[in-house]
Amino acid sequence: MTCALLRLAVFSLFVLAAPGSRLVAQDRLDRDRFVFLFFPQDRQLARSLAEHAAATDTFPGLPRPRQQVVIAIAPDRARFRAWAGGAPEWGSAIAFPDTRRIVLQGSRAGSDAGNPPDVLRHELAHLALHEYLGDLPPRWFDEGYASYIAGEWGREEVLMTNLALAVRGMPTLDELEASFGRGATAAQSAYALAYRAVAELAQMDPARGLSLLLGYWKSTGSLERAMRSAYGMTLGEFESRWRSRTRRQYGALALVSNVTIAGLLLLFILAPLYVIRRRRDRRRLELMKEADAAAERAAQATAISDLLGETQERGDTRSDEGP
């Protein structure tokens, strides 16, 4: 199938997949190797993304991609869900490497959909990695590479508050691979740890980054052999290094962060109780003072009464004695 026919087929697929949509309601924009499909309200977003994608169309460690990519911008959440197919509920975008297409949320998406240029960069990194290595990368590397290339530094914030790193310890790479399918919370932690793993790999060769690793991986078809050739260590040795360094760097921060949060929460709960007790004690003290004052006044009244009674008795006695 020629490129023109491929684009027409994919374009028709998105139009037909959109519930209640009409052909006249959708537009397209071609820029270099990118084809953007969108609705009128997302025209400005499509233009901005096209400029950004064309200006940043290189990916560290990989040759410049050549495959054409179709990028569909969904006008609403329902259309995104329909086009994305099996994407998780919390997903903000999805890439389909086999068909070289990406589905993004449009300008009406909420803040949880992320920054569109960064989200697109993340998904394009998936396609670039797949174009070079095919299905060789496990998901932890695939997701970690995409996050690393997109500059998603915020992933580390998840690790800073992940108490599990301090309490249960770091997962293995196999455990990390399995955690992507365990719900939104587990997946966010998995993305953050995958990001750290790929960043750790890149930092091991400051001059060439991931270039040697990816080149050896493609030529040998084995990540184990690529690790030995590029870094002089086994995959198991790297796993130990990544687990140790990540837990040491973020586990303590997570513990301190959670202890701080727990302390603030405890303070939030106890502060009203403290205020209530202080008010109760103050009222009790006031009542005690009032009772003491009343008792003192009663004692004074009794003393005066007794004194007056004694005086009266003495006066009566003198009257009875006569002159």
For residues 119 and 169, state if they share a domain: no
Does the structure show a pLDDT above 50 at 254? no
For residues 199 and 104, state if they share a domain: no
Residue of higher predicted confidence among 127 and 20: 127
How far apart (Å, rounded) are the C-alpha atoms in residues 30 and 71?
Answer: 10
| Cα dist from 205 to 91, 101, 128, 198, whole Å | 32, 32, 21, 12
Among 44-48, 65-69, 172-176, 300-304, the least confident range:
300-304
CATH code of the domain containing 117: 3.40.30.160
Residue of higher predicted confidence among 182 and 105: 105
For residues 76 and 121, state if they share a domain: yes
CB of 36 closer than 8 Å to CB of 42: no
Question: In sequence order, which residues have a C-beta less than 8 Å from that of residue 101 and are 6 or more positions away?
Answer: 10, 69, 70, 71, 72, 95
For residues 15 and 126, state if they share a domain: yes
Question: In sequence order, which residues have a C-beta less than 8 Å from that of residue 233 and are 6 or more positions away?
Answer: 227, 241
Question: What does the mean pLDDT of the chain come to?
Answer: 79
For residues 19 and 98, state if they share a domain: yes
The pLDDT-based confidence of 227 (bands split at 50, 70, 90) is: very high
Q: Domain span at residue 226?
A: 153-269
Q: How many domains does the chain have?
A: 2
Angle (CA) 67-69-71 rounded to 5° is 170
Highest mean pLDDT among 9-18, 56-65, 100-109, 301-310: 56-65
pLDDT the model gives residue 154: 61
How far apart (Å, rounded) are the C-alpha atoms in residues 308 and 102?
Answer: 105
For residues 131 and 171, state if they share a domain: no
For residue 288, give both structure tokens.
């005690």
AA letter at 306: D
Distance from the first to the final alpha carbon of the chain? 149
- Over pLDDT 90: what percentage of the chain? 48
* Residue 63: count of CB within 10 angstroms of its CB: 14
How far apart (Å, rounded) are the C-alpha atoms in residues 74 and 131?
Answer: 25
Question: pLDDT digits over 192-208, tens only?
Answer: 899 999 999 999 999 99
Among 25-39, 92-106, 242-256, the least confident range:
242-256
